[in-house]
Amino acid sequence: MKKIKNLIVGAGLSGAILAERIADEKKENILVIDKRNHIGGNCFDYLDKNGILIHKYGPHVFHTNFEEVWNYLSKFTKWNYFFLKPRALIDGIKATLPFNLNTLYQVFPKSMAENFEKKLIEKFGYNVKIPILELKRKDDDLKFLANYIYENVFLNYTKKQWGLKPEEIDENVTARVPIYISRDDRYFQDKYQGIPLNGYTKMVENILNNSLIEISLNTDFRDVKNEIDYEKLFFTGAIDEFFDYEFGELPYRSLNFDIQEKEVEYYQETAVINYPNNYDFTRICEHKYFLNQKSNKTVISIEYSEKFVLGENERYYPIENPKNKNLYEKYLKYSKSLKNVYFLGRLGDYKYYNMDLTVDRALNFFENQIK
CA torsion sign for 177, 183, 185, 188 is negative
Each residue of 31-83: pLDDT tens digit?
999 999 999 999 999 999 999 999 999 999 999 999 999 999 999 999 999 99
**Residue 279 has what DSSP assignment?**
S
Both 105 and 170 in one domain: the answer is yes
Both 322 and 237 in one domain: the answer is yes
Total domains present in the chain:
2
Each residue of 259-308: pLDDT tens digit?
999 999 999 999 999 999 999 999 999 999 999 999 999 999 999 999 99
Which residues contact residue 189 at a Cβ distance below 8 angstroms, ignoring those fewer than 6 apart? Answer: none
Confidence of residue 138 (pLDDT cuts 50, 70, 90): confident
SS3 196: strand
- Among 122, 148, 181, the domain boundary falls at 181
Confidence of residue 96 (pLDDT cuts 50, 70, 90): very high
Q: Is the predicted pLDDT of residue 173 greater than 80, yes or no?
A: no
CA pair distance 132, 146, nearest whole angstrom: 7
Question: CATH number of the domain that 362 lies in?
Answer: 3.40.50.720
Residue 73 backbone dihedrals phi, psi, to 5 degrees: -65, -30
Residue type, position 345, single letter: G
pLDDT at position 194 is 98
Both 7 and 72 in one domain: the answer is yes
Domain extent, residue 118, equals: 87-181
pTM for the model stands at 0.94
> CB count, 10 Å around CB of 134?
16
pLDDT at position 139 is 67
% pLDDT > 70, the chain: 99
SS3 102: helix
Q: Is the predicted pLDDT of residue 210 greater than 90, yes or no?
A: yes
* Inter-CA distances, 15 with 31, 45, 54, 243, 293, Å: 10, 17, 22, 19, 30
